[in-house]
Structure 1
Amino acid sequence: MTLILNMLISLPALLLTLLALWFGMQVVAACLPGRTPTRDNATACGRLAVLIPAHNESTNMIPTLRAVHSQGLAGLRVLVVADNCSDDTAQVAKNEGAEVIERSDPTRRGKGYALDFGIQHLKAAPPDTVIVMDADCLPAPGAMARMVELATQTQRPVQALYLMNNPNQPTVKSRIAEFAWLVKNHVRARGLHWFGLPCQLTGSGMAFPWHVLQGVPLATGEIVEDMKLGITLAARGYAPVFCEQAMVSSTFPANDEGVRSQRKRWEHGHLAIIWNEGLPNLGRALLNRDQNLLFMALDLCIPPLALLVMMNMVWLIVASIYWAWLGSAWALTISLIGMLITAASVTLAWYKFGRSVVTGTDMLRVPIYMLSKLSVYAGFLFRRQTTWVRSKRDNEPK
């Protein structure tokens, strides 16, 4: 009986420690000198289509369209999918020189359906490369040329460095959230790239050779369609490549409603996809001896940063109680190692990459931030979000 209890307590501790170890290895690798940047080659872009799904974006998308056109790429085609819009998104996009198609299907809502609608439209005159850009994102100068060049060289999907920033005078919680985003999209992706491994797709700033998208099921209601698409492509032999030298950026909502909606969608979707895609693809990768799929699925299984820290803390407490009860220190030792690795990794990521985002005092308030996320994780168990909901923008009426 004691042996069984030891296994029941020690196995979750071991799994959490392995996830913490892989997370820590990514952070350490990210701190090492990076690989040689790709060179600019704007003349090699060929036929390029920038696909922008937009639901009631209206004036929000004007800076995006102007930034895309300012990249100065030959053969550029900008296609906006005005998806289930009730505002003037379509007319605004036309006024900014974009090609516009409108989709109306209130029963099938979500970015995946809009992307599929756009791809079907492009089939009449296929481009060489498709870049997917969210309607509120800004590509940095030269970013699109770098993405297209790397996609052409590798014949694989390319993910740009996609960062989100806070508006003026952010709260402590919003600064910590920005740091968590930085760790996920920059630090971990950079670490994976240092190992020569693929990264996750993060939703915007994604470049695809046209043939890679053929036959891929995009028309789904998946609320984290980017993660789903990335692991699907990896399973087909097209694991995404990270391009740190190409950056796109956006801004977190400042209003509480938009923040709650956005984070709930991201975190519920991430947790669901760990079960639906991460774990099954781990087994598939082992059977097929597919290294790219294996490490991508393993990376997908790392929960959101706040939850990873929280799970390690909780299991450390459970293991401590078990040790005090039966005197078995195995689970406690493993949990303590996992907690130390997690804490050291987060501290290193902050010291190397995050000090401009959060202060040391902010980091001491992380436990309060984690407590604020309890309702999100409880909601996953009891009131899980399974359908796409657009986050409220700051310039929209209440």
Structure 2
Amino acid sequence: MGSFIYIVTAIFQILVFMLTLYYLIISFFGLYKRNEKIEYKPEKSFALVVAAHNEELVVGQIVESLKSLDYPKELYDIYVVADNCTDNTAAIARESGAIVFERFNRRKSGKGYALEWMFNKLFKMDKKYNVIAVFDADNLVSKNFLNEMNYKFQQGYKVVQGYLDSKNPSDSWITQCYSIAFWSSNRLFQISRQNLGLSNQLGGTGFCVDAELLKSIGWGATCLTEDLEFTCKIVLNGEKVGWAHNAVVYDEKPLTLKQSWNQRKRWMQGYSDVATRYFFKLIAKSLKERNFAAFDCALYILQPFVFAALGLSILLSYLKGDGKLSANIFVMSSLFTPALWKSYGIFQFLFTPFVMVLEKKLKKRLLLVFGLYSANVFVLDIISRMQIDRKLFIIIQISYLLFCIILAGILNGRKSMKEFIWYLLYGLYTLTWIPISIQGIINKNNREWSHTLHTRQIKIRDLEGF
């Protein structure tokens, strides 16, 4: 029985490791960022669509932000689709200067349905637009957004995703973890795909679509992750999603673990649903047409299953160890020397803060503190061999951590002490993806849309220079 568990564990872990290695290799291509210069005059006309459900607290700020865009006012209009609203969202949006359409359909509720309804309205209008942009009501948009998108569309792109940033990264450790995830993903996976000529992934907001393309292939994305479904549809139709790194959209992140858990569970339900419907179609296209972009997209939508496989491999390791889960839980570790495995762990630990420095979201001096702290895997290993009392060893561990926290404060101020602690909690945030993904897979057929309450009334001028 023990050998069987070992073999099954090894298979799971090798597959997960190979996929992780694939993304690690892909991410290296995101370290280089081109400095693109806008050389095109404003030409494209835009319909800016804001999807809103009971967003009276924030809808005024997004409309104000869009009205302030550095782009000819005659070349864009702002539309707010107030979907099944029971508050003052529609009235506030009108007062702020948006063109408002109210939709009431309890049977087909959710952002995907609301967007499809609004797109059909736009197609029937006498006034025609070259491009349709999509935003959430809690967003704020950088002034150069449409200039950057105009540049990309004149280069020939039909679908373009903007940079997803956070408008409240310092509200809690959860918002900080969300922000770290988005900042690193923007650099490591979105830029890398652009550099490799692959298709980028739509992020649910801050993206633009050629109006004629949207009309010809249809929206049809009404699941819990309509952005992912439409990305798959784009790739299957032979197009690629472009990336506009300098077109920034600030998104409000959930404040608490409970809010975050519910939101990410909804994402994983959507991912699981999309994966079961599109994975084999994308694989077939990649093999038939030797289309690597389709293959990459197919791997991307497998995220909930990868996390579930990782969780299962950890459980099998636990069973293999007769109920004793040691620090060395992976069968994969037997393929490397301890020193090499620890060095790889340090590299992984430091890679994300290094990328945050590149993105100017973290001070360089704080990266040095992270480097010092990561060395504890070697320092504490040497101390543990001294056969000292266990309580003393724990005291040394805690003291080492406190020393690094205090050093972060001395070098960078009190804010950096908080950032240092929150980054350490990022590992815990990452682990929560395992049970969340399992829940998402189990409930993938439940398409009931749940609303995340947005309350942060921040204006775009408050974020300038952030």
Smaller-chain TM-score bracket:
0.7 to 0.9
Partner of 1:264: 265
How far does residue 164 in structure 1 lie from its aligned partner after superposition? 2.4
- 1:177-256 equivalent positions in 2, closer than 5 A: 177-254=178-255
Partner of 1:103: 103
- d(CA) in 1 for partners of 2:347, 2:198: 23
Match of 1:394 among 455, 458, 462: 455
Partner of 1:326: none
The residue type paired with residue 39 of structure 1 is I
CA 1:8–1:372 in structure 2 vs 1: closer, same or farther (change >3 Å)?
closer
Q: Deviations over 1:259-296 (max 9, x none)?
A: 33322222332344334323541233212222322222
Partner of 1:62: 60
Q: Deviations over 1:348-374 (max 9, x none)?
A: 122221663984444444454355555
The residue type paired with residue 28 of structure 2 is V
Partner of 1:325: none
- d(CA) in 2 for partners of 1:315, 1:268: 22
| Contact 1:316–1:332 under 8 Å retained in 2 | no
Partner of 2:168: 166
- 1:1-398 equivalent positions in 2, closer than 5 A: 8-31=8-31, 33-39=32-38, 41-45=40-44, 47-71=45-69, 72-73=71-72, 74-124=74-124, 125-166=127-168, 168-171=170-173, 173-254=174-255, 258-303=259-304, 307=307, 311=311, 314=314, 317=317, 333=334, 344-345=347-348, 347-353=350-356, 356=362, 359-370=419-430, 372-373=432-433, 375-384=435-444, 385-394=446-455
| Contact 2:305–2:437 under 8 Å retained in 1 | no
Moved more, 377-386 or 3-12: 3-12
Structure 2: where are the runs of 5+ without partners?
Answer: 323-329, 363-415, 458-466
How far does residue 258 in structure 1 lie from its aligned partner after superposition? 3.6
- d(CA) in 2 for partners of 1:259, 1:2: 38
Matched position secondary structure for 1:58: coil
| Contact 1:41–1:146 under 8 Å retained in 2 | no
How far does residue 392 in structure 1 lie from its aligned partner after superposition? 1.9
| Contact 2:60–2:92 under 8 Å retained in 1 | yes
Task: List structure 1 runs of 4+ shifted beyond 6 angstroms.
Answer: 1-7, 334-343
How far does residue 14 in structure 1 lie from its aligned partner after superposition? 3.0
- d(CA) in 1 for partners of 2:20, 2:312: 9
| Contact 2:56–2:89 under 8 Å retained in 1 | yes
Matched position secondary structure for 1:214: helix
How far does residue 121 in structure 1 lie from its aligned partner after superposition? 0.9
How far does residue 298 in structure 1 lie from its aligned partner after superposition? 2.5
- Normalising to structure 2: TM-score of the pair? 0.72
| Contact 2:5–2:320 under 8 Å retained in 1 | no
| Contact 2:112–2:222 under 8 Å retained in 1 | yes
CA 1:28–1:83 in structure 2 vs 1: closer, same or farther (change >3 Å)?
same
Structure 1: where are the runs of 5+ without partners?
Answer: 323-328
Q: Deviations over 1:56-80 (max 9, x none)?
A: 1124111111111111333212121
- d(CA) in 2 for partners of 1:38, 1:282: 36
- d(CA) in 2 for partners of 1:334, 1:292: 31
- d(CA) in 1 for partners of 2:163, 2:153: 14
CA 1:36–1:308 in structure 2 vs 1: closer, same or farther (change >3 Å)?
farther
How far does residue 129 in structure 1 lie from its aligned partner after superposition? 0.9
CA 1:343–1:66 in structure 2 vs 1: closer, same or farther (change >3 Å)?
same
- d(CA) in 2 for partners of 1:235, 1:201: 14
CA 1:238–1:338 in structure 2 vs 1: closer, same or farther (change >3 Å)?
farther
Q: Deviations over 1:295-329 (max 9, x none)?
A: 22223334599x4895497289379759xxxxxx9
The residue type paired with residue 355 of structure 2 is K
- Normalising to structure 1: TM-score of the pair? 0.83
Moved more, 266-275 or 351-360: 351-360
CA 1:316–1:118 in structure 2 vs 1: closer, same or farther (change >3 Å)?
same
- d(CA) in 2 for partners of 1:95, 1:21: 51
The residue type paired with residue 213 of structure 2 is V
- d(CA) in 1 for partners of 2:342, 2:183: 21
Q: Deviations over 1:9-43 (max 9, x none)?
A: 44433321221112212332222x31241416452
State the number of aligned residues.
387
Higher relative contact order (CA 8 A, sep 6+): 1
Larger radius of gyration: 2
- d(CA) in 1 for partners of 2:291, 2:14: 24
RMSD of the alignment, in Å? Answer: 3.6
- d(CA) in 1 for partners of 2:426, 2:57: 36
CA 1:340–1:333 in structure 2 vs 1: closer, same or farther (change >3 Å)?
farther
| Contact 1:312–1:338 under 8 Å retained in 2 | no
